[in-house]
Chains A and B, each alone.
Chain A
Amino acid sequence: AQKVTQAQTEISVVEKEDVTLDCVYETRDTTYYLFWYKQPPSGELVFLIRRNSFDEQNEISGRYSWNFQKSTSSFNFTITASQVVDSAVYFCALSPPEAGTALIFGKGTTLSVSS
């Protein structure tokens, strides 16, 4: 069975702090995709990143970075120098490799950044 666990329910930080959101997944597939989505207070789901299971290189995009470690089945997300606008619920998701298959979401981590 496929499963995504985001153990941190809520995190509160002060602006400019770095914060890491954890994601641990379970799958029997040898090939799979991992995703992160952001859900701001307005409610929409915003795609942030997709990572192929064969690509273990870390990725950086501005203040965002992702650490994929296949050995520990983790795909953690770090926000550097957090800002109030980063306040949102962040979802990690997993899918099989085939086109058009379902995303399996974790329960999400609510990040609150105060000024």
Chain B
Amino acid sequence: EPEVTQTPSHQVTQMGQEVILRCVPISNHLYFYWYRQILGQKVEFLVSFYNNEISEKSEIFDDQFSVERPDGSNFTLKIRSTKLEDSAMYFCASSEQGISNQPQHFGDGTRLSIL
């Protein structure tokens, strides 16, 4: 069964450094998303991406964050100048084209630890 893949599974970064989280969505999916989950808390929406542009973003997704689809398969989340509070599990998801909101299929997540 097709799946969303995320790399790396665990990233450790010094505070203030930039980090790029990578995702390969399911191949025929056209909507892409990033969510984050701070340890023990609920899953929070960051951003959605469609047709090479951001379609929706949350208050969390400030100027520190950016997303990109650098080629036909990858979807990346960049966090500039990381802070301690950016430590979380980051999930990428994708969904099919449709006239309604299709199920979002999630990757296994990248655990980001900021030291």
Q: Tell me the complex Cα distance, A97–B107, Å.
A: 23
Q: Which of A69-115 contact B (CB under 8 A)?
A: 91, 93, 95-108
Q: How many A-B residue pairs have CB under 8 A?
A: 70
CA distance A97 to B100 in the complex (A): 5
Interface size of A by CB at 8 A reads 27
Q: How far is the CB of B48 from chain A (nearest CB, A)?
A: 5
Interface SS, A side: loop
Tell me whether A50 is interfacial, beta carbon within 8 Å: yes
Inter-subunit contact A95/B108 (CB<8 Å): no
| A64 adjacent to chain B (CB < 8 Å) | no
Within 8 A of B (CB), among A29-80: 33, 35, 37, 42-47, 50, 52
Give the 9 A-B residue pairs with the shortest CB-CB distance, closest first: A102-B45, A45-B106, A100-B31, A105-B43, A44-B108, A107-B42, A105-B42, A95-B101, A47-B103
Q: What residues make up the interface of B, taking CB atoms closer than 8 Å to A? A: 31, 33, 35, 41-45, 48, 50, 55-56, 58, 89, 91, 93, 95, 97-109, 111
